[in-house]
Chains A and B, each alone.
Chain A
């Protein structure tokens, strides 16, 4: 299976939220049944954040201008990193890469430890307290492995979302950035080509990464240390055991003398034991 990616073009997105609904529908993720779960923030964004049962939202970063508003939409979901911090952090091997690059949590194996929640530089995985499991977008791997597009992509009415070979998506994104620059969007940028070894969600950021809330040059940080810590730890324990084993063998024939003390004369007597 070739490496694939979702392309999100913020300049074509109208934030209709069709993708949010399609994600919930296909993945059977219920929405809250009450009206008052959200705090009013003056933003059109809803819901305000990802959740165990909300794997995709369109972030709104409304910016007031002299005339009108810059909307600066951003698709907030898993980026399916090649160097995935969540996968590195998972202590039970529940998170893995599929051949096409999708990063998937195996719910049978997830123990709800939340290591991945802490590790992800994009704060994508979310823990469900009641189920004691962590959830996130899996790029609709059931659909893509049956030659279908991810649910969000299939419903996008403006072509802001596309899915296909990663190389093709990068080509389209590059071309689109050039078009946007020619049209006066000087800060237009592409995101995902090299970040964290290459993402499997490519983004066209119409007004630059920061305007869309993207992290420039994201880092995995300390989570990467696992690959040194575990072998190093094993080595440390093995070396200590070997050292003590050596000590044990060297001292095997040792016979200690019998010590006694006469406190009246302050004399220490040692009766050597026959060897």
Chain B
């Protein structure tokens, strides 16, 4: 049985930290988004949630920045793997993805590079939305430093971005954690040992898997 080491311990650690921060931010943010929830949980819980929201927000912002400083190469690798010029296979993948997703994965999908074109769109969007929600969050945290108009827009954008990120995140979890049947086993890529089996790698990222298997640097045989 052969495996490819797809994610480093550093990348997985960062993903773990960001997952915890992100989910905590969602849970605590929802308390403020829905007044009836705030009323139901009571004042002390609301204030506690606000405090947790701020602590987690700092982690949410600082962890990726620190990661870029510690491992600039890792950042470049991530960036290149998400944002690349699409060839015919990438375009075909994107065109076939929704029929594949909604109609029992019966479509034959073209081989993909280190990331699927759709992954680039979804994960890239998550990065930009996360930057935007962080900026608006900082403005709401320190409203005295900004004009009332900017704060008003930030409050609204912060909530709108939460919804958008929520939508992307649901899809990200559904596919990434392997809830979708054809993606079974994907969860351990980021939450486990970071290895992908030869079969899974060839199914998901055919072009990349072949290159890795030829090169052999990251291949583990057990």
Contacts and interface: CB of A to CB of B under 8 A. Distances in A.
Contact of B47 (A111, A232, A233): A111
Interface in A40-72: none
Given A251-B181, A256-B203, A226 B148 contact: no
A247 B180 contact: yes
A1 interface: no
- The binding surface of chain B is classed by DSSP as helix
B160 interface: yes
Interface in B148-206: 148-149, 151-153, 155-156, 159-160, 162-164, 166-167, 170-171, 174, 179-182, 198-200, 202-203, 206
Interface string A30-48: 0000000000000000000
Given A92-B39, A247-B101, A263-B214, A117 B198 contact: no
Interface string A238-255: 001101101110111110
Contacts, number: 133
Interface stretch (B6-14, B30-38, B69-77, B127-135): B30-38
Contacts of A246: 102
A233 B102 CA distance: 22
B148 A240 contact: no
A123 B147 CA distance: 11
A251 B34 CA distance: 34
Q: How large is the interface on B (under 10, 10 to 19, 20 to 34, 35 or more residues)?
A: 35 or more
B59 interface: no
Contact of B174 (A115, A225, A233, A244): A244
Contacts of A225: 156
B178 to A, nearest CB: 11
A222 B148 contact: no
> Which of A115, A233, A261 has the most CB atoms of chain B within a 10 A radius of its CB?
A261
B182 A251 contact: yes
A83 B36 CA distance: 21
Interface of A: 89-93, 108-109, 111, 113-115, 117-120, 123, 221-223, 225-226, 229-230, 232-233, 236-237, 240-241, 243-244, 246-248, 250-254, 256-261, 263, 266, 268
6 contacts: A109-B43, A223-B155, A248-B174, A256-B105, A259-B202, A261-B210
